[in-house]
Amino acid sequence: MTHTEPPILRGKVKSVYDVPGEADKVTIQFHDKVTAWNGKAVEYPPEKGKVCCLISALLFEKLEKLGIRTHYLGTEGLDTLLCRKLTIVPVEVIVRNIAAGSIVKTTTLTEGTLIQPPIVEYFLKDDAKDDPLLTHDRVRLMGIDPEPLKVQALEINYQLQSLFTLMGMDLVDFKLEFGYDVHGDLYLADEMSPDNMRLWKRGTKERFDKDLFRKDEGDIVEAYKYILQHLRQFA
C-alpha cells in the first residue's frame, strides 16, 4: 500500500498513518524488515511484512471472537492493518510461560524451565532507555493502573495457549501493548506475530520466531509462513 502523506509514527518495522477524513482510525503498514537489540541488528527479508500483517490479522480476529477488545478493524492490502486510533500506554506487557530470553539472563532460571502459573512483567516503552523492567509500584507511580493490563494479558495468554497447543506449538512468551480510546476503554494494540512472541514446536526448542534472526539459526520468513499456514487451519 502506498501513502501520499508521511507517517504520524515510524517504528523499527512498522509505520502508522492517519486515515484521511476519519480521525478515529489509523493504518499500520508492516515493512520487510527485521531488527534486534533495539535496532542494532537489521535485515530486510522479502515478504516478511506481509506475513506478519496476515498473522496479526488472524490473531486479532480470533481474539475479537473470544470477547477481547483489540484495535483491529480490518486489512487494507496484504501488508496494512486498519485500526482504531488509541492513546498507547507507555508500558510493554510481557507474559511468560516458559523461561527464555532476558529472564534467563537476569535470574537463575535456565532456558526451557516451565513457569507455572504464568507471570506478567512490565517494561518501559522507551528505546532510548533500553526498555527497562518496571515494578508494579513503579507503573503506578507513572499514573498507570497495571491491574487491567495484567487481567487482559493473562486472558489473552489463556486463549493463545489453547490455540497454539492445537497447532502443536508452545507459546513461550509474548509482548503486548495496550491503548485507550477517547471513551477510556482499553484495547489490545500493536501487532500479534512471531516478531513479538516466542513459539517453539511442542516439546522441543525448535524456534518459529524472531530468535531465529537473533541467534542466526534460520530463515524467519519461512518459519513465519509455517505459523501462518497453521493459523489458517485452526484460528
164 vs 67, 140, 157, CA distance in Å?
Answer: 18, 33, 10
CATH number for the domain harbouring residue 107: 3.30.470.20
**pLDDT tens over the chain, length 235 residues:** 667 689 999 999 999 999 999 999 999 999 999 998 877 789 999 999 999 999 999 999 999 999 999 999 999 999 999 999 999 999 999 999 999 999 999 999 999 999 999 999 999 999 899 999 999 999 999 999 999 999 999 999 999 999 999 999 999 999 999 999 999 999 999 999 999 999 999 989 999 999 999 999 999 999 999 999 999 998 7
Same domain, 71 and 91: no
Task: Please report the pLDDT score of residue 64 as a whole number.
Answer: 97
Report which of 99, 233, 93, 114 is spatially closest to residue 157, judged by C-alpha positions: 93
The reply to whether 2 falls in a domain is: no
Same domain, 20 and 104: no
CA distance linking residue 14 with residue 4, whole number of Å: 16
Q: How many domains does the chain have?
A: 2
The reply to whether 228 falls in a domain is: no
Predicted structure pTM score:
0.95
Residue finishing a domain among 33, 58, 84 = 84
CATH number for the domain harbouring residue 48: 3.30.200.20
Same domain, 214 and 150: yes
Instruction: Sheet containing 87-88: give its strands across.
Output: 87-88, 178-180, 186-188
CA distance linking residue 94 with residue 184, whole number of Å: 22
The reply to whether 113 falls in a domain is: yes
What's the domain range around 152? 87-219
The reply to whether 173 falls in a domain is: yes
The reply to whether 77 falls in a domain is: yes
Residue finishing a domain among 84, 104, 139 = 84
Beta carbons of 122 and 132 less than 8 angstroms apart: no
Phi, psi of 189, rounded to the nearest 5 degrees: -125, -165
